[in-house]
Amino acid sequence: MRRLLRGSISRAYPRKRLFYKQSRNHYGTVCCPSCKGFFRRSFLASKNLECYRGNCCVITKGTRNNCRACRYKKCLNAGMNPNANIVALPQVIGVPSVDPLFMNAEEAKILASFYVNLERYCDNSVFNGNEICLQEEEFLINQMLDASVEDLLMKRRPQCPRFPIIWKPHQMVSGKTFKRIYARLVVFFCDWVNHIPLFKSLCVSDKVQLFIARLTQVLLLNMCYRTYKEGCGGLLLGTGSVFPFDKALRSQIEDDQIRNMLSQVVDSVFADVIFPMKDLDINEDEYCMLKATLFLFEGFPFNQLTDHGKEVLVREKQRHKAALVALILQKKEANPAIDHLFKLIQVEHLTTTIEAVSNYIDKEFGLMNLFSLSGMRGNLVHECHVMKYAFC
């Protein structure tokens, strides 16, 4: 049987060697056990592999872990047969099923690196920041807030300029700057989701529902992490604005709606998110994977997705959560004293708090949209913070 299998595949694909040491016959070519395992895991897990270096990475034994997309492409070019991987091989050697709840540290680090680079890209995406006057900027922001989420994702309407999103406490938030902050954060989130391969694979209706459902939660987590890393004495909102943790300083904010709303938010997230982040020593990799996992939460819009959208969301959530767990557990060797079970429970508690506070923010934004408070009125605000609960 093995001879027949090798013969049928070798006629269709020329044999080439991948990393010659300890090479054996696998999947119609001659490769090492490492490439065999990589090819099997990548194909069976249906991973969405993309190269952001132009698909021209040089893959050798020493650089094979630098780019999974180019490594997988080299496997295919060498003659490795994916059809044999899923059809013929189980009959011969019984390939074990891939556990979606497990991921090794190497794979988790690679996945986290993608989101770390994406986060930095979105932070540094600054266009037309100094070329647009304040009047034109105000016009573009108002046009965006009057658009729909679908128009925003499809880029059919004007958008807020990508001026620098400064995560520093330069000024306290005010009623005049709140709308500008909100608009910049919305396009920050839009840039982030549009570069995620699984999001790009969804249909337009699924994209719209997922965008609406996760906007508030992801942006709130973003603010909490930036505040924690900066060691700021208030919640960083972006564009250099901050809401103080010190209650005595809050009286300087004249806008009653913003002061009352953010007071509740800051008290909650500092106690249950920001201080625990410091205690857990959350690093950049863990934060980026936590953010991606939070984005893939199967909440109330899940039943409104298409069958393809549901399948993608369930699969990718399991994969991303497995990566987050792997990143947390890999610290065991560096610091055996860490109670990893406790840390996993605390991370789950962080997401629960983010969900609860986000629901409160949505309700407050709904009131602001209804009564045109602080300039927060428009179709986009209505869809993202009011109509999202129509999915229930």
Does one domain contain both 93 and 125?
Answer: no
The verdict on 117 and 85 lying in the same domain is: no
Tell me the pLDDT tens digit for each residue of 228-269: 999 999 999 999 999 999 999 999 999 999 999 999 999 999
Number of domains in the chain: 2
Residues 86 and 121 in one domain: no
Mean per-residue pLDDT over the chain, rounded: 83
Last residue of a domain, one of 66, 98, 130: 98
Beta carbons within 8 Å of 111's beta carbon, 6+ residues apart = 103, 289, 319, 320, 323
pLDDT surpasses 60 at 156: yes
Q: Give percent of the chain with pLDDT exceeding 90.
A: 62
List the CATH number of the domain containing 206: 1.10.565.10
Question: Which has more confidence, 27 or 357?
Answer: 357
Percent of the chain with pLDDT over 70: 81
- Can you read off the two tokens belonging to residue 52? 């952001």
Contact 209, 384 (CB under 8 A): no
Domain that holds residue 32: 2-98
Domain identity same for 23 and 126: no
Range picked from 95-109, 122-136, 151-165 for highest mean pLDDT: 151-165
Shared domain for 77 and 135, answered yes or no, is: no
Q: Which residues contact 323 (CB under 8 A, 6 or more apart)?
A: 103, 107, 108, 111, 112, 289
Same domain? For 298 and 366 the reply is yes
CATH number at residue 61: 3.30.50.10
Which of 6-15, 23-32, 64-73, 379-388 shows the lowest mean pLDDT across its residues?
6-15
Residues in the chain: 392
The single-letter DSSP state of residue 263 is H
Euclidean distance between CA atoms 227 and 277, whole angstroms: 10
Clarify whether residues 116 and 77 are in a common domain: no
Given 51, 73, 98, the domain boundary residue is 98
Instruction: Write out the two tokens for 68.
Output: 């999974």
pLDDT of residue 4 exceeding 90, the answer is no
- Furthest-apart CA pair in the chain: how many Å? 81
Does residue 226 share a domain with residue 267?
Answer: yes
Query: What average pLDDT score do residues 83-99 get?
Result: 39
- Same domain membership, residue 123 and residue 39: no
Using alpha carbons, list the distances in angstroms from residue 12 to 15, 29, 83, 149, 151. 10, 11, 12, 48, 47
Q: How confident is the model at residue 7 (pLDDT cuts 50, 70, 90)?
A: very low
Higher per-residue pLDDT: 285 or 62: 285
Please compute, for residue 3, the number of CA atoms within 13 A of its CA located in the half-sphere on the CB side.
0
Does residue 228 share a domain with residue 164? yes
Please answer whether residues 200 and 227 qualify as being in contact, where contact means their C-beta atoms are separated by less than 8 angstroms. no
Q: Are residues 85 and 188 in the same domain?
A: no
The C-alpha atoms of residue 116 and residue 111 are separated, in whole angstroms, by 9
Q: What is the pLDDT of residues 68-89, one digit of tens each?
A: 778 888 887 777 776 654 433 3
CB 72 within 8 A of CB 80: no
Tell whether 248 and 373 lie within a shared domain.
yes
Quick one: pLDDT band at residue 97, thresholds 50, 70, 90? very low
Chosen domain end from 98, 115, 143: 98
Residue 217 — pLDDT band, cuts 50, 70, 90? Answer: very high
